[in-house]
Amino acid sequence: MAITRLTLAPLLLIAAVILSTETSAQPAAPAPGPAGPINLTAILEKGGQFTTFMHLLKITQVGEQVNIQVNSSSEGMTVFAPTDNAFQNLKAGTLNKLSADEQVKLVLYHVSPKFYTLDDLLSVSNPVRTQASGRDNGVYGLNFTGEANQVNVSTGYVETRVSNALRSQRPLAVYVVDMVLLPGEMFGEHKLSPIAPAPKSPSTGVSDDDTKSDSTKKAAASPADKSASGERRVGLGFGFGLVVLCLKFLF
Ligand SMILES: *[C@@H]1O[C@H](CO)[C@@H](O)[C@H](O)[C@H]1NC(C)=O
Ligand SMILES: *[C@@H]1O[C@H](CO)[C@@H](O)[C@H](O)[C@H]1NC(C)=O
Ligand SMILES: *[C@@H]1O[C@H](CO)[C@@H](O)[C@H](O)[C@H]1NC(C)=O
Ligand SMILES: *[C@@H]1O[C@H](CO)[C@@H](O)[C@H](O)[C@H]1NC(C)=O
């Protein structure tokens, strides 16, 4: 019995693969294609390491704004999404020290009101406007420099690489950055030095929470931390469910 199951399993698997490729070849197959409205949160969620940025997009309502504007603007948009790691590398309390308006500005600074491919960014004329620039062209811009297909972005205060794209089709491009783009206008003159001197990986969460309980009003990052673990748990559950489902299908 066990032997027949073992020999059957690969056959069933092949059958399943054939079936699934056949169904996905159908035009009605569900796919993250261009159909339907663009949802920035859904794109970031799939990326799996953007819980803090997603949280900020939500509390500042910039995420919704992007979804609406990307649908209505002919220029498209580009979003630079800092990883959770990028936020963890900020000195504890950096976000909490910002006023609500400054938090909005910081998030808007990660969004440009134009669609750029990586090639565009290699040769774009600086500075590039962001949503934080508003009508004032000279401020809250980003500078891009390229060398051998590697694009760097500079805020005048920090510089980092523009890494892979979570999405690169018109009208929305979403690129991963491994530093939070701290605007020179906000951090340059001040001596906030928001980059932590030495990122201590497991203990930062504890010290973070300590400082946050002091300033509970503008807690921007701590709720994200909580939802982060929650979402991870949901993710695990979903993965496990899939495995169970596959096993059931096979036997
Ligand atoms: C966008 O996606 C997120 C996460 O999948 C979901 O919670 C939200 O309801 C979606 N928004 C819209 C407008 O569909
Ligand atoms: C996108 O724009 C179209 C018209 O251009 C409109 O009908 C649709 O409701 C918009 N969708 C969203 C999610 O705003
Ligand atoms: C961008 O580059 C220009 C010219 O080099 C410089 O004047 C400006 O301060 C830079 N801005 C940023 C945000 O780096
Ligand atoms: C891009 O930025 C990184 C730091 O993140 C730096 O090491 C590298 O030299 C920069 N590259 C260019 C072409 O400026």
- Following DSSP, what letter does each residue of 43-111 receive, concatenated? HHHHHSS-HHHHHHHHHTTHHHHHHHHHHH-SS-EEEEEE-HHHHHTBPTTTTTTS-HHHHHHHHHTTE
pLDDT tens track for 180-221: 999 999 998 654 555 554 444 444 333 444 444 444 434 444
State the pLDDT confidence band at 149, using cuts at 50, 70 and 90.
confident
Q: Decide whether any atom of ligand 2 lies within 6 Å of the 73 Cβ.
A: no
Find the mean pLDDT for residues 135-146: 89
Query: Does ligand 2 lie within 6 Å of residue 234's CB atom?
Result: no
Query: In the chain, how many H helices and how many E strands?
Result: 10, 6
**Is the CB of residue 22 below 6 angstroms from any atom belonging to ligand 4?**
no
Rounded to whole angstroms, the Cα distance separating 83 from 201 reads 15
Q: Which atom of ligand 2 is nearest to the CA of 68?
A: 14
Helix (H, G, I), strand (E, B) or coil at 141: coil
193: left (phi over 0), alpha (psi -120 to 50) or beta: left
Residues 41-77: tens digit of each pLDDT: 999 999 999 999 999 999 999 999 999 999 999 999 9
What's the Cα-to-Cα distance from 192 to each of 59, 110, 135, 223, rounded to whole Å? Answer: 23, 20, 27, 23
Ligand 4 center to 150 CA (angstroms): 9
Distance CA(176)–CA(156), nearest Å, equals: 19
Residue type at 101 in one-letter notation: D
Q: pLDDT higher for 99 or 192?
A: 99
184 lines ligand 3 (CB under 6 A): yes
Which residue has tokens 């695990």?
236
Q: What span, in angstroms and rounded, lies between the C-alpha atoms of 159 and 98?
A: 21
The dihedral through the CA atoms of 51, 52, 53, 57 has a sign that is: positive
Cα angle: 138, vertex 73, 132; to 5 degrees = 30
Tell me which of 3.30.70.360, 2.30.180.10, 3.90.550.10, 2.60.40.650 is the CATH number of domain 40-185.
2.30.180.10
Predicted local distance difference test score (pLDDT) of residue 42: 97
DSSP state of 177: E
The domain limits of the chain are: 40-185
* Nearest Cα to Cα of residue 143 among 158, 153, 132, 133: 153
Which of 109, 125, 126 has the most ligand 3 atoms within 8 A of CB, as the residue to mutate? 126
80: β partners: 175
Distance 43 CA to ligand 2 centre (A): 18
